[in-house]
Amino acid sequence: MRLLSRKATCNTHGQDSSYFLGWEEYEKNPYDKVKNPNGIIQMGLAENQLSFDLLESWLAKNPDVSGFKRDGKSIFRELALFQDYHGLPLFKKALVDFMAEIRGNKVTFDPNHMVLTAGATSANETLMFCVAEEGDAFLLPTPYYPGFDRDLKWRTGVEIVPIQCTSSNNFRITESALEQAYQDATKRNLRVKGVLVTNPSNPLGTTLSRNEFDLLVDFIKDKETMHLISDEIYSGTVFSSPSFVSVMEILKEMNPNDATKIWNRVHVVYSLSKDLGLPGFRVGAIYSENDAVVAAATKMSSFGLVSSQTQYLLAAMLSDNKFTKKYISENQKRLRRRQRMLVTGLQKAGIKCLKSNAGLFCWVDMRHLLCSNTFEAEMELWKKIVYQVGLNISPGSSCHCSEPGWFRVCFANMSQDTLNVAMKRVKNFVTDSTGAECGSSSVSFTKSFSNWVFRLSSRDHRAPEER
Give the residue, chosen from 202, 235, 332, 402, that forms a contact with ligand PLP under the rule CB under 6 A: 202
Closest alpha carbon to 400 in 21, 146, 117, 121: 146
C-alpha distance from residue 410 to each of 339, 359, 394 (Å)? 9, 9, 9
> Given the rule CB under 6 A, which of 117-125, 238-246, 340-348, 378-386 is the region that contacts ligand PLP?
117-125
233 part of the active site: yes
Residue 393 as a binder of ligand PLP (CB under 6 A): the answer is no
> Given the rule CB under 6 A, which of 116-124, 306-314, 361-369, 438-446 is the region that contacts ligand PLP?
116-124
C-alpha distance from residue 229 to each of 65, 125, 128, 188, 320 (Å)? 34, 12, 10, 22, 30
Phi, psi (deg, nearest 5) at residue 364: -105, 135
User: What is the rounded CA–CA span in Å between residue 19 and residue 14?
Assistant: 9
Point out which residues pair with 30 in neighbouring strands.
40
- Going 358 to 142 to 49 to 281, the CA torsion angle's sign is positive
Residue 231 as a binder of ligand PLP (CB under 6 A): the answer is yes
> Given the rule CB under 6 A, which of 4-12, 113-121, 387-395, 408-416 is the region that contacts ligand PLP?
113-121
Residue 275 as a binder of ligand PLP (CB under 6 A): the answer is no
Give the residue, chosen from 198, 230, 288, 311, that forms a contact with ligand PLP under the rule CB under 6 A: 198
- Nearer to ligand PLP by C-beta: 97 or 231? 231
- Nearer to ligand PLP by C-beta: 198 or 381? 198
Q: How far apart are the first and last CA of the chain?
A: 43
Residue 356 as a binder of ligand PLP (CB under 6 A): the answer is no
Point out which residues pair with 269 in neighbouring strands.
231, 286
Residue 399 as a binder of ligand PLP (CB under 6 A): the answer is no
Give the residue, chosen from 17, 156, 271, 324, that forms a contact with ligand PLP under the rule CB under 6 A: 271
Q: Which of 92, 153, 193, 274 is catalytic?
A: 274
Residue 204 contacts residue 171 (beta carbons within 8 Å): yes
274 part of the active site: yes
Give the residue, chosen from 21, 41, 46, 161, that forms a contact with ligand PLP under the rule CB under 6 A: 46
> Given the rule CB under 6 A, which of 115-123, 340-348, 409-417, 433-441 is the region that contacts ligand PLP?
115-123
Point out which residues pair with 268 in neighbouring strands.
230, 287
Residue 236 as a binder of ligand PLP (CB under 6 A): the answer is no
Q: Which of 233, 286, 328, 393 is catalytic?
A: 233
Residue 147 as a binder of ligand PLP (CB under 6 A): the answer is yes
145 part of the active site: yes
Coil vs helix vs strand at 82: coil
Helices (H) and strands (E) in the chain, counts: 18, 15
Residue 265 contacts residue 220 (beta carbons within 8 Å): yes
- Nearer to ligand PLP by C-beta: 267 or 383? 267
173 part of the active site: no
Task: State in angstroms the smallest separation of the CB of 467 from ligand PLP.
Answer: 29
Return all residues near 214 (Cβ < 8 A) that are at least 6 apart: none
Residue 222 contacts residue 90 (beta carbons within 8 Å): no
Provide the residue type at 38 as one letter. N
- Nearer to ligand PLP by C-beta: 42 or 380? 42
Q: Which of 31, 145, 270, 287 is catalytic?
A: 145
Return all residues near 321 (Cβ < 8 A) that are at least 6 apart: 97, 101
Kindly list the catalytic residues: 145, 231, 233, 274
Question: Applying CB under 6 A, which residues contact ligand PLP?
Answer: 46, 119-121, 145, 147, 198, 202, 231, 233, 271, 273, 279, 284
